[in-house]
Amino acid sequence: METVSKNTAHGGTQGVYKHASRQTGTDMTFSVFVPPHDEGAKLPVVWYLSGLTCTHANVTEKGEFRRRCAELGLIFVAPDTSPRGEDVADDAEKAYDFGLGAGFYVDATQEPFAKHYRMWSYVTEELPALIAENFPADMDRQSIMGHSMGGHGALTIGLTFPDRFKAVSAFAPIVAPSQVPWGHKALPGYLGDDRAEWRKHDAVALIEDGARVDALLVDQGEADNFLAEQLKPQLLETACQDAGIDLTLRMQPGYDHSYYFISTFMNDHLNWHAERLK
């Protein structure tokens, strides 16, 4: 693991790191904030998954999470959204919503993406092992959150591993990719035409098929230009009601899809996670 940069912030350390990934077959970059702590202490870990076009840098630079993580004693980990490199397949038309920067947190089975696009295994297996080995992380106390495509990833991973993640939340998530244009492009492109495979990476479908968590927190901006066509939080609301999942869905007037929105409500989510990570 190579240290790309390291800076002191709020008494802790904000680092950016790079390593050669076995899962993706590429170099992968991620950021980790470690708050101030006593020597030998093990700290809970909050995972943050980013959205379309993003890297680790978007939330690291714009998320405004460090002060609250320092106060709450939370490690904050932000992976990239897809493999990158000269030989990594991209969308033929260089579209923003498929290919580089749009890994959708799945293990692709379709060529030419299957070789490198293994973001599910990277985020759920390889990177957690690296974090456990190199940082003062209490891997028995993990939670996960994300934004947009990363909200989709956080929900699907949290629902798949409910015993691992003590809290799951999202900002403007893609709750039902099987039912929206982004998903209609990404899921067959990465996973093929078997819709049963799609359901494993669709939060609403997972809940319909029996996946359960105790509670979810979702913030959604009412001025989000993707709200009606791509995000459809009402589908998650219905699924949670039918399943008895305690969903807190907060529709925020005036807020869009940007990091102005995310940073405004980041502390609320960190507080919510910290309560469940005690």
Q: Enumerate the active-site residues.
A: 148, 224, 257
- In three-state form (DSSP H/G/I as H, E/B as E, the rest C), the secondary structure along the chain is CEEEEEEEECCEEEEEEEEECCCCCCEEEEEEEECCCCCCCCEEEEEEECCCCCCHHHHHHHCCCHHHHHHHCCEEEECCCCCCCCCCCCCCCCCCCCECCECCCCECCCCCCCCCCEHHHHHHHHHHHHHHHHCCEEEEEEEEEEECHHHHHHHHHHHHCCCCEEEEEEECCCCCHHHCHHHHHHHHHHHCCCHHHHHCCCHHHHHHCCCCCCEEEEEEECCCCCHHHHHCHHHHHHHHHHHCCEEEEEEECCCCCCHHHHHHHHHHHHHHHHHHCC
Contact of 206 with 199, CB cutoff 8 Å: yes
Contact of 189 with 199, CB cutoff 8 Å: no
Contact of 178 with 152, CB cutoff 8 Å: no
Q: Which residues of 210-219 are buried (b: 16+ CB within 10 A; e: fewer)?
A: ebebeebbbb
